[in-house]
Amino acid sequence: MNRREFLPATAMGAAAAAAADGTQGRIKQSVCRWCYRNVSTEDLAKESARLGIQAIDLLEQKDWAVAKKYGLIPTIVPGPTNIPNGFNRLENHDEIEKKFRDLVVVASQEKIPSIIVFSGNRRGMSDEQGAENCVTGLNRIKKYAEDKGILVVMELLNSKVDHKDYMCDHTAWGVNVIKQVNSPNVKLLYDIYHMQIMEGDCIRTIRENFQYIGHYHTGGNPGRNEIDETQELNYRAISKAIADLGFQGYMAHEFVPKREPLKSLAEAVQLCTV
């Protein structure tokens, strides 16, 4: 083995050992529940805890206790919007605020750190008008989040493959909204898979906008499957870039396993342990 081969192998060996010991290095890793439909919540939580994963994203309220049983945090709970119907419609704002006001109390009581929200689909609306409406809506709920110490994250999704017509589909658009809302409790959920499809240049984009990002999701591209050598993104380099920025939030694995699911999850944890 030459020097160029030895150094990466040594780094990966150290990462594998760290993950096997239930430690995560500098990034707090999470896992998205919906990607493991054929695995019980109990088994997913137990294995996640063994791997050093600290949280489970998008977990139904009935399963919060299962996560907590294994010392995991239910983080990023579904909020008062859905992907096609979100903050970009003024007529949605009254109902959104009402639902959010109740949800943020529950999240605070259960020590859940984050709530996910969506912009909604364009349906012919201009991006400029949609941004203005999203700012108006987020301004209506930000005080509730600030008072309870809850982070609201609007997710960046691709409108090319998976979510046709979704408005918050570019980092610059999302950052513009977050800057105008101007709250430490309102940020973006940067989904690496989705933004690779729409923009690429992920590491540079993360570095330039890290202060506006509160959460990350992973996924291999193309296909949204394992984040290993079968796809085009270098998740070890991305993880190191995020860690080097001093990120204190969570990075959740949101790939859909094509192979044995918990083995693929273990490999992803090792890869992102930096």
The CATH number covering residue 102 comes to 3.20.20.150
| Gap between the Cα atoms of 46 and 234, Å rounded | 28
| Gap between the Cα atoms of 43 and 33, Å rounded | 11
Q: How confident is the model at residue 7, as a pLDDT? A: 39
Task: Report the DSSP beta bridge partners of residue 188.
Answer: 154, 213
pLDDT tens track for 173-183:
999 999 999 99
Give Cα separations from 58 to 66, 112, 201, 222 (angstroms): 13, 11, 27, 23
Q: What is the reported pTM?
A: 0.91
Q: How confident is the model at residue 107, as a pLDDT? A: 96
Structural domain harbouring 130:
3-271
Q: How confident is the model at residue 24, as a pLDDT? A: 63
In this prediction, the residues of the chain whose per-residue pLDDT falls under 50 are: 1-21
Q: How many structural domains comprise the chain?
A: 1
Q: How confident is the model at residue 23, as a pLDDT? A: 52
Q: Which residues contact 159 (CB under 8 A, 6 or more apart)?
A: 165, 166, 167, 169, 198
